[in-house]
Structure 1
């Protein structure tokens, strides 16, 4: 999921905040604050027409119809503000009962969240895809409940490729540079879209780290931000793509993901890394596109970035039983499928994943589903990750500008990460 956002429209970053309370199916409050669930969720839509508020309103009414003693009050906010909204609520002593946001580890470490086994029925706990659920664990205990997921693939404009004489998708970095040069020669405004601006550059950075054989952490979970592989990756981007004027007229450090997505839907971008929701946006603008595995340093990348967005339940209001009943309803197969289907995202339960794999109407998502087995996620289980992610957003773009120093910037982020880990240990 800027999710990401992988997805998110994390992953997707809605442009307009929506904050409408859900309507009760009973027409009024149940009369007992103890039975009013406060839910805060992120918006995956990009307009009032497809806002996630509509999904949550419908879900809440359906739940209330079967649980007459519980009212669900949902407020949906854009991805640009939802994390801060929840943080402010918690700090101000007005915690939601359930939040659907991008990070859970800080709240879990502070003892503010219920464990999954304190809320969910055994069938619901067992339904999650294990690799995604593991990304929601702190010290092997599940606190962050995966809500939706996504993986990343290379998207390319087939018409622009044909006009540039490119017969197939690039498989290596050298192929990608050759294709970008051909697109530039054919007059394409943005041969390769490289969004390293503050919206979700931590995602684009990880995609490139993985394709270069690196990542944010090693197999033991230790930060390896300033590894040789990562430094060489950003040096290549600086010299071979940005330095060769193959990423368009705007500096990648000031280019956000949605900027590049919007340009792709206008037919101005030859190639970019994208998540499943870009398919819907591109198709809506009649862009003839295709997807391919991510190019790697010397061939197809052996891994891709996976993103999950999280549901978490706060202890503050003591509504464990009601929370559990609602979350069991949220994770019913029909409801999981409805949300994933609406936004072209990937499900987090094995049953819905299997359903998508066997239905032709979801064929366009199969390639993304296939990627999940080798997807690597953000180190969201680390309480330091929120701070490090923000630091990456602020600084990573400078590594690829003229005169940029990847070793220095990555070293600075690494030292901050080490300091945070030491302080938290």
Structure 2
């Protein structure tokens, strides 16, 4: 892992000069002004730190270097941004760029520029390898990773001290700790959010921990794999059935209220991403985070999540769009965004800078885990449909009458049919 990062770091360093030359050339050539349209998602948790200001400042900096290129940015909440772009594309008014949750449908329909038509080679090479690969369809990259995270097990230090326990390393430890927390009257000894908000993430965490996952070694859906059935059955039999997951049924518990409960001191343990650090600190909750436990220790794989930047062909501005994206993905700007919104960077140069910086110490474990993480099968046009089914059905696997094998088998049948139609 270190060798790969070093090589890419050298490439990224060499790319500073090349990217600078490309940007200068683009900014000085031609007299016709071009306005690029970007639609982006909001990563802020309040009006004060919304992403609109970040993008406006970034665009202003870019425009100073490129007076003939203007960048118009519209930022929307995650609730509506994907639909906003979908409607624009359907109406024949695709933006030049979109920073949203999925790219595969647009790539499969031939609507996107491949990354090699946009970015300078050093900038393209600076993406973290696994993230870059997740943006590929049939060997060509169309999705550019933008903001990443993984999950670690957060625990409430005060509650752990009161219960006389230490952070779990194995599944058996997790059960033992949850029992001790329950005995202390903790409302949610282990919060298990399998509600529709983000059940696909929580599910994948535990499947990967047991050596399973959503796809097999050749990339085909394998939701009903034996290891996946084992993982969901274990959650049901060892945590849910024993009353260790709190008063809200996992299938009805969403990530946001679970995080809020942790910030109120009502949760002993849960799987969380880096933004939970800010929530806990703001409420004065002393927390720790460790690797998600595996059956016998270290999980067999960890989950990585990334959002996507993409560029549409319709506007016909690959040179200008590429210049802006080269600028957006330079180390300084990636660092600024990552630090502002407490997310892991998607480039090697920014990752190396953060892992070596004392002020980013809290984020380092998340960055390190991303190096070998497994991502959603975002390169499948069927993934949004399959993800929706997981969100809808997976909570039933841990109910008293639920069957992991039956539910995962049904989702797998639908997934296989959707995959064959791609």
Q: Given the two structures, how large is their TM-score scaled by the length of structure 1?
A: 0.90
SS in 2 for 1:337: helix
Give the equivalent residue in structure 2 for 1:365: 363
The alpha carbon displacement at 1:124 in A equals 1.2
- 2:304 is equivalent to residue 291 of structure 1: no
The alpha carbon displacement at 1:206 in A equals 0.3
8 A contact 2:291–2:298 mirrored in 1:
yes
- 2:336 is equivalent to residue 338 of structure 1: yes
C-alpha distance in 2 between matches for 1:179 and 1:321: 56
Give the equivalent residue in structure 1 for 2:227: 229
Cα shift readout 1:185-237 (whole Å, capped 9, x = no counterpart): 10111111111111111000100111122100112111110011111211111
The alpha carbon displacement at 1:77 in A equals 1.3
Give the equivalent residue in structure 1 for 2:146: 147
The alpha carbon displacement at 1:300 in A equals 2.1
8 A contact 1:302–1:374 mirrored in 2:
no
Give the equivalent residue in structure 2 for 1:69: 68
Cα shift readout 1:230-265 (whole Å, capped 9, x = no counterpart): 112111111211111111111111111111111111
SS in 1 for 2:421: helix
Provide structure 1 residue ranges, at least 5 long, that are not aligned to the other structure. Answer: 1-30
Give the equivalent residue in structure 1 for 2:8: none
Q: Superposed, which structure 2 residues align to 1:3-402 within 5 Å?
A: 35-166=34-165, 168-402=166-400
8 A contact 2:210–2:300 mirrored in 1:
no
Root-mean-square deviation (Å): 1.3
C-alpha distance in 2 between matches for 1:239 and 1:363: 37
The alpha carbon displacement at 1:332 in A equals 1.2
C-alpha distance in 1 between matches for 2:184 and 2:337: 40
8 A contact 2:194–2:203 mirrored in 1:
yes
SS in 1 for 2:217: coil
The alpha carbon displacement at 1:302 in A equals 2.5
C-alpha distance in 1 between matches for 2:384 and 2:109: 14
C-alpha distance in 2 between matches for 1:352 and 1:359: 11
C-alpha distance in 1 between matches for 2:254 and 2:77: 16
The alpha carbon displacement at 1:374 in A equals 2.2
The alpha carbon displacement at 1:275 in A equals 1.0
Cα shift readout 1:115-143 (whole Å, capped 9, x = no counterpart): 00111112211211222211111111110
Structure ranking higher in helix proportion: 2
C-alpha distance in 1 between matches for 2:349 and 2:103: 25
Provide structure 2 residue ranges, at least 5 long, that are not aligned to the other structure. Answer: 1-30
SS in 2 for 1:65: helix
Q: Superposed, which structure 2 residues align to 1:407-422 within 5 Å?
A: 407-422=405-420
C-alpha distance in 2 between matches for 1:183 and 1:84: 42
The alpha carbon displacement at 1:347 in A equals 0.9
SS in 1 for 2:212: coil
SS in 2 for 1:156: strand
8 A contact 1:115–1:141 mirrored in 2:
yes
Corresponding residue pairs, total: 392
The alpha carbon displacement at 1:373 in A equals 2.4
Q: Given the two structures, how large is their TM-score scaled by the length of structure 2?
A: 0.91
C-alpha distance in 2 between matches for 1:218 and 1:377: 13
The alpha carbon displacement at 1:160 in A equals 0.5
The alpha carbon displacement at 1:299 in A equals 1.8
The alpha carbon displacement at 1:298 in A equals 2.2
C-alpha distance in 2 between matches for 1:105 and 1:346: 22
C-alpha distance in 2 between matches for 1:100 and 1:322: 17
SS in 2 for 1:149: strand
C-alpha distance in 2 between matches for 1:124 and 1:232: 42
C-alpha distance in 1 between matches for 2:239 and 2:35: 53
